[in-house]
Amino acid sequence: MTTPAAEVVLEAEGLTKHFPVRKRGRAALSREVRVVHAVDDVDLRLLRGQVTSLVGESGSGKSTVARLLAQLYPRTSGDIRLHGEPTPLATARGGRRFRAYCRRVQLIFQDPFASLNPVHNVEYHLTRALRIHGRAGQGKEQLRAALANLLDRVQLTPADRYLSKYPHELSGGQRQRVAIARALAADPEALLADEPVSMLDVSIRLGVLNLLRDLKERLNLAILYITHDIASARYFADTVLVMYAGRMVEGGDSETVTQRPAHPYTRLLVESAPDPDRLTSEAGSLGEAGGAGEAGTAGGVGGAGAPVPGGEPPSLISPPAGCRFHPRCPFVMDKCRTELPPRLQVGDTGEHWAACWLFEGVAA
Ligand SMILES: Nc1ncnc2c1ncn2[C@@H]1O[C@H](COP(=O)(O)OP(=O)(O)OP(=O)(O)O)[C@@H](O)[C@H]1O
């Protein structure tokens, strides 16, 4: 649960990334500049000691958000603030300020095999990270202790058994633990975990998620957990944010968003996710949101036998006007085709919102 007192570590406002489209053939002669609207006007906050999950299907812009937050890409517009301190649009890469930011905000990639160099062993990877961040200590003894401490944090013990191993000698889960240990070498405050378990065997996913949860609690980390699996977000996250076609469409505490989704797109995600103890009767959830008028129409979206919107996500080069989900939405109204819905409150707690016209005038 989000507590009002939780400290904001990292925050984005109006975060936008447009990638230019390379022109080919005759298009190369035209003056028209075409871009992929990968991320548009995204707001999010990562709180100390909490997991925020960013959920959405492939191509919705989740990884781009993580890369923008990690400063791997320059953003087109918007603000990123670490402890309220703005990061300039074009942070000088390699500069002191940039290095300090990168130390505090660490990214963990989906594929631990690709992120570890196959010709180097665990000791090399971790020692290098400790040295880069000035945390290797003085002399061999202190370095040894720092390495053992890192491996202990990711539950790879005894350390001596793992230090000499090469990536190919480790299981997928162990490799991801080494990648997490390498991120921890920087002593970060925020971890951006981009689909950290999706390439792992189902049997070991839970272990790695439990490890991240343990780190969140012990080290008081602010974690961004990116996933297309809304069921795992329910299990692991405190807060869930849902992205569709480059925009945020819903947010709130994880239990509410995953069990009583409001936006028709979130309902689609929840409907298609295997989650055995889902509380059904989403009709009731919209009733709670106010239930009257158009929202009442939406009450049937997620329930048994409810229509599941078909179709594909839109082109991000020329995204639909209004709500980007409108071409797939079973409850589309005229307004949805032309006007972008703002964040509208769902229910009466003030923490659950949906960018959907169905909730206009519904909240208490
Ligand atoms: N470097 C790039 N240049 C051009 N377009 C890009 C680039 N990176 C991402 N995109 C486009 O931006 C959109 C969002 O991509 P992104 O990888 O952020 O989505 P995602 O939700 O993380 O998807 P996945 O789960 O498949 O990784 C996609 O249309 C993608 O093709």
Indicate if ligand 1 lies below 6 Å from the C-beta of 63.
Answer: yes
Contact yes or no for 2/15 (Cβ under 8 A)? no
User: Cα 272–275–280 angle (5° rounding)?
Assistant: 85
Q: Work out the end-to-end distance of the chain between its first and last CA atoms, rounded to an integer number of angstroms.
A: 21
Model pLDDT, residue 27: 62
Q: CATH code for 8-237? A: 3.40.50.300
Contact yes or no for 330/301 (Cβ under 8 A)? yes
Of the candidates 267, 270, 284, the residue with the CA atom closest to the CA atom of residue 328: 267
The rounded Cα 193 to chain-centroid distance in angstroms is 7
What's 313's DSSP letter?
A: P
Atom of ligand 1 nearest to the CA of 246: 14
Indicate if ligand 1 lies below 6 Å from the C-beta of 30.
Answer: no
Which mutation among 17, 19, 109 tests ligand 1's pocket best, with the greatest number of atoms within 8 A of CB?
19
Model pLDDT, residue 298: 32
Q: Within 13 Å, how many C-alpha atoms sit on residue 139's CB side?
A: 2
ipTM score here? 0.97
Taking the C-alpha atoms of residue 280 and residue 134, their distance in angstroms, rounded to an integer, is: 52
Indicate if ligand 1 lies below 6 Å from the C-beta of 42.
Answer: no
Indicate if ligand 1 lies below 6 Å from the C-beta of 228.
Answer: yes
CA of 65 to the centre of ligand 1 (A): 10
DSSP output for 45-73: EEETT-EEEEE--TTSSHHHHHHHHTTSS
Taking the C-alpha atoms of residue 217 and residue 129, their distance in angstroms, rounded to an integer, is: 23
Q: At what angle do helices 139-153 and 172-184 cross, to 10 degrees?
A: 130
User: Cα 183–190–52 angle (5° rounding)?
Assistant: 120
| Domain chopping of the chain, boundaries | 8-237, 260-364
Which two three-digit tokens encode residue 266? 């979130």
Of the candidates 242, 212, 263, the residue with the CA atom closest to the CA atom of residue 54: 242
Indicate if ligand 1 lies below 6 Å from the C-beta of 60.
Answer: yes
pLDDT tens for the 364 residues of the chain, in order: 545 568 999 999 999 999 998 776 666 666 677 899 999 999 999 999 999 999 999 999 999 999 999 999 899 999 999 999 998 665 556 677 888 898 999 999 988 778 899 999 999 999 999 999 999 889 999 999 999 999 999 999 999 999 999 999 999 999 999 999 999 999 999 999 999 998 888 888 999 999 999 999 999 999 999 999 998 999 899 999 999 999 999 999 999 999 999 999 999 999 887 655 544 444 333 333 333 233 332 333 333 333 445 678 899 999 999 999 999 999 999 999 999 999 999 988 778 999 999 999 876 5
Atom of ligand 1 nearest to the CA of 64: 18
